[in-house]
């Protein structure tokens, strides 16, 4: 477990902080900073959150700011959207984004479209957050990636953090944003410790929405990913570096609005593109990146077709060996890089 050590202490430097604790810090700091912010969702209060993301917050802020709800996503998402229209800043937790399907009418028709349909007179400053994508051994109804679904819809902003700094900075930026923001976390990252800089431990730290981050510089091929597969890309890059192949790894961080300029600049430099995601291939995030590159100035710099590495085009199997074969592994990324470089 990562330590929260170093936060606010004199001479603090880099700290090891888990994604769970980074999200908890973000919620704590934003609840403290703005009394309009409140949280609601299943088990967020007395139980400290299904994944302990909201640990300690109910005791600190009380029943009005941290609210347990019944198992009724459409109901509590609707309450949250109405509260946002009335001037509050709700953070609505879904126990998994698969269950946001119960509330997708509230997210899309009520939250995403209202500012536009009211000619800008009604803002809906709301955050929908929770774990997205595959966990481990929870089968098809709990393992879907919704980045492409929500990234499809104008009026929403969609972020997908990887590291602890991503998680804290993007959640704080999302809570402060005047638009509805979908924050797609990953359950398997919650317990993973990452280094957090002194700057990221500050209460003023935010990661700007719509800006990708180059996690590793490289010259031979561009790897673009978001959420947990960013880690797989870095692992693949480390293996390939021993064979003389230098991968540039881009962590998208935001799905909508997409920072295609950073991807274009990288492709102009490396002349090769591989996209990696845990979601399905058809109409996916990788498909969008490939289309944008093809339509833009970077297309002329490609020396080979762009390659997508995605989840398998099937509902998630329950058996572990089938699940492993349904999700992109490090070996799949290495294979795709060698294919695009023709080595």
Which residues belong to the active site? 73, 142
- DSSP code of 117? H
First to last CA, the chain: 40
For residues 290 and 273, the answer to whether their CB atoms sit within 8 Å is: yes
DSSP reduced 3-state for 90? strand
Strands (E), 142-207: 157-159, 181-185, 193-196
Q: What sign has the CA pseudo-torsion 289, 132, 186, 126? A: positive
Token pair for 93:
């937790």
Q: What is the DSSP string of 1-68?
A: ----TTTT-TT---EEEEHHHHHHHHHHHHHHH-TTEEEEETTSSTT--TTSTTTTHHHHH-TTTEEE
The torsion angles phi and psi of 15, rounded to 5 degrees, stand at -120, 150
- Give the integer Cα–Cα distance in Å for 99 and 80: 16
Length of the chain: 343
- Give the integer Cα–Cα distance in Å for 36 and 336: 47
For residues 310 and 277, the answer to whether their CB atoms sit within 8 Å is: yes
- Give the integer Cα–Cα distance in Å for 202 and 17: 13
Strands (E), 236-306: 247-251, 254-256, 273-276
If residue 338 lies in a helix (H) or strand (E), which one and from where to where?
Answer: helix 330-341
Q: What sign has the CA pseudo-torsion 291, 305, 327, 167? A: negative
- DSSP code of 298? G
């Amino acid at each position: 477990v990562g330590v929260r050590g170093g936060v606010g202490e004199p001479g603090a430097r880099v700290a090891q902080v888990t994604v769970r604790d980074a999200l908890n810090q973000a919620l704590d700091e934003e609840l403290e900073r703005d009394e309009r912010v409140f949280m609601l969702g299943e088990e967020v209060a007395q139980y400290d959150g299904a994944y302990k993301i909201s640990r300690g917050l109910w005791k600190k802020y009380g029943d009005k700011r941290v609210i347990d709800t019944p198992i009724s996503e459409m109901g509590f998402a609707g309450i949250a959207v109405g509260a946002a229209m009335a001037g509050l800043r709700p953070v609505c937790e879904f126990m998994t984004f698969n269950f946001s399907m119960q509330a997708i009418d509230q997210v899309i028709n009520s939250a995403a479209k209202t500012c536009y349909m009211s000619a800008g007179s009604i803002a809906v400053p709301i955050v929908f957050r929770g774990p997205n994508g595959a966990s481990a051994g929870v089968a098809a109804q709990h393992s879907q990636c919704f980045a492409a679904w929500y990234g499809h819809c104008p009026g929403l902003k969609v972020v997908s953090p990887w590291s602890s700094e991503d998680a804290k900075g993007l959640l704080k930026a999302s809570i402060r944003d005047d638009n509805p923001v979908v924050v797609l976390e990953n359950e398997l990252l919650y317990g993973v410790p990452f280094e957090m800089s002194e700057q990221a431990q500050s209460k003023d730290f935010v990661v700007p929405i719509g800006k990708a981050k180059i996690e590793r510089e490289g010259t031979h091929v561009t790897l673009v990913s978001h959420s947990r597969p960013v880690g797989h890309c870095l692992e693949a890059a480390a293996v390939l570096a021993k064979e003389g192949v230098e991968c540039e790894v881009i962590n998208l961080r935001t799905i909508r609005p997409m920072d295609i300029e950073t991807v274009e600049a990288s492709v102009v430099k490396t002349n090769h593109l591989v996209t990696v995601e845990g979601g399905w291939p058809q109409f996916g995030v990788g498909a969008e990146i490939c289309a944008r590159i093809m339509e833009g100035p970077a297309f002329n710099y490609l020396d080979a077709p762009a390659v997508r590495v995605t989840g398998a085009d099937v509902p998630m199997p329950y058996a572990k060996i089938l699940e492993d074969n349904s999700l992109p592994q490090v070996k799949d990324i290495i294979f795709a890089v060698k294919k695009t470089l023709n080595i």
